[in-house]
Structure 1
C-alpha cells in the first residue's frame, strides 16, 4: 500500500516504486471509501491532480472511465457521487467515450440521496458533482447540447423531499449556462428545453411549494444571471450566443411562479 497522505504532502509526486496502473487501481478503489479523508482528500485529490497534469495516458484514462461509469449503479452513495467528479476530470482532459453518457444520465435523474454534506461520510453532493460532469459533457462537441439541457431539467423536476442547501443550484445553473454557450445550439433548442419547466411551474400547488419547484426556481435564477453577464470558462468570459432570447425565455418561465419577476 502506498502512503497517500505522504504523496499529498509531497505535492502529489508519482511514487516511483510501483507501476502507474497499480497506483490508479488502488486510488480507484479508495474512491468507494466511506472515509472522506481517504476518498476525497487522498484518492480524488490525487487522481484529479494527475489527470490535470497529464500524468495518465489516454488508454489508462479510458479504462478508468469505464470503471467509473459502472459506479453509477454502485450500492454505496459515496461511490456513486464521486464517479462523476473524476469522469469530469477525464472528459475535461480530452478523453471521452459515448458509452459513459447513458449510465450517467440514468443515475443523475434517479438518484434519491441528495445530501450535500454528511457528518460521517463528508461531501456526497450528488447534484453538484453530477452538474460538473453535465457541464463538461455539455461543452463537448461529441455530445448533443440539448441532451444535457434536458438532463438538467430532469434533475430539477424529479420529485424529492430534499431542498438543496449546499450551492447545488449554483453548480447546476453554471453547468446549464456553460452548455448554452455552444455555438451550434439552434435558437429553438436554446429556449425550447425550458417548456417542461414552464408547464410544471404554471401548476401552483394548493398545499405549498414542492422542494423540487424551489430547487428549480433557484437554479433558473442563477442561470438568468449567468446568461445575462456571461459564463466564465477557464480564464475567459463567454457569452451565450442567443443571450437575449434565452434571458427573455427564462424571465417568462420564472414569472409563471413569481409574477413579480421582471
Structure 2
C-alpha cells in the first residue's frame, strides 16, 4: 500500500500560503508539501482537514503545480484510503480523486477501489459534531459523476454503482441535499452519447424491483434507504426533463435518451407512490 501521509499539519502555516495566492513557498520541497497536505485530508480535526490545506491542495491541482506523476502518486494514496479505518479519511478521499480525474489522470485501480467502497460504506452521516463534515454520499457522488464521463470507464458502470449505493440498507437519511448531489452525478453520466437506450435505463431495474416489492412485512415506516432512493430518482426525473450542468455555471446539457429515461423513471416510481 502506498503511503504519503506527512506530519501533523499547522493550519496557520497553510493559511499564510493561501493568503499568498497559494504560491509554493520559496525553496520548499514540493513532494514533501503534498505529503503533508495528503496527511491533512485524513485528520480528525475539521479545521485541518476541511480548511486551508484542502483549498491549497485543490488550487495546486487545478494549476498543475502538482504535476502528472505526483498526481498519480496522490491518486493511489486516496484510492488506498477507501480501506482506511477512519471515516473522515474514507469520506474525503473521493474529493481529491475527483480533482485528479478532472485533470485527466485515471488508473483503473482507483475506479475498482471506488466501486468496492461506495455501496459498502456504512457511515453515511453528513456531519459529526467533533469530526465535522463527512458527506461520504455526496463526496462519492461527485467522483461518480466525473468517472461516469471519463471515456475509459464503461458508460453504464457508474449509474449501476449509484443504484447499488441506493439499495444498500442504512438507517441514515440523506441530509444537506445529498440525494440531489447523487441525482446530478447520475444525470451527468447519462449525457454520454455512447450510451445505448438499454444502458441508459437498465440500471434502474434493480430499483424497480425494490419498489415493486413494497414495504417489508412488519416495517411500519419507509426504510431510510428506500426514502433516499425515492428522493434521488425524483430529482433525476427533473434533470432528465431540464438537462444537467456538467460544470458549475455551465449550460444545461440534455440527457442522452432523455425521453426513455423519464418513461422508465415513471414506471419505477409508480409502485412506490401506491405502496408508501
CA offset digits 1:58-81 (Å, max 9, x no partner): 111000001111000001110111
Task: Report whether the alignment pairs 1:93 with 2:103.
Answer: yes
CA shift, 1:259, in A, is: 4.2
Distance 2:192 2:67 in 1: 28
Distance 1:181 1:259 in 2: 30
Aligned equivalent of 1:192: 202
- Unaligned 5+ segments in structure 1 are none
Q: Which runs of structure 2 are paired with 1:73-152 in the superposition (5 Å)? A: 73-152=83-162
TM-score between the two structures when normalised by the length of structure 1: 0.96
Backbone CA RMSD of aligned residues: 1.3
Distance 1:17 1:36 in 2: 29
CA offset digits 1:83-109 (Å, max 9, x no partner): 000000000111111110111111111
Distance 1:52 1:225 in 2: 31
Aligned equivalent of 1:9: 19
CA shift, 1:145, in A, is: 1.9
- Unaligned 5+ segments in structure 2 are 1-8
Aligned equivalent of 1:225: 238
2:34 corresponds to which of 6, 20, 24: 24
SS in 1 for 2:156: helix
CA shift, 1:11, in A, is: 2.7
1:212 corresponds to which of 225, 228, 232: 225
Distance 1:199 1:92 in 2: 34
CA offset digits 1:3-31 (Å, max 9, x no partner): 11211223322222312111101100111
Task: Report whether the alignment pairs 1:67 with 2:77.
Answer: yes
Runs of 4+ in 1 over 4 A off after TM superposition: none
Aligned equivalent of 2:260: 245
Query: How many equivalent residue pairs?
Result: 260
Change in CA separation of 1:244 and 1:259 when aligned onto 2, cut-off 3 Å: farther
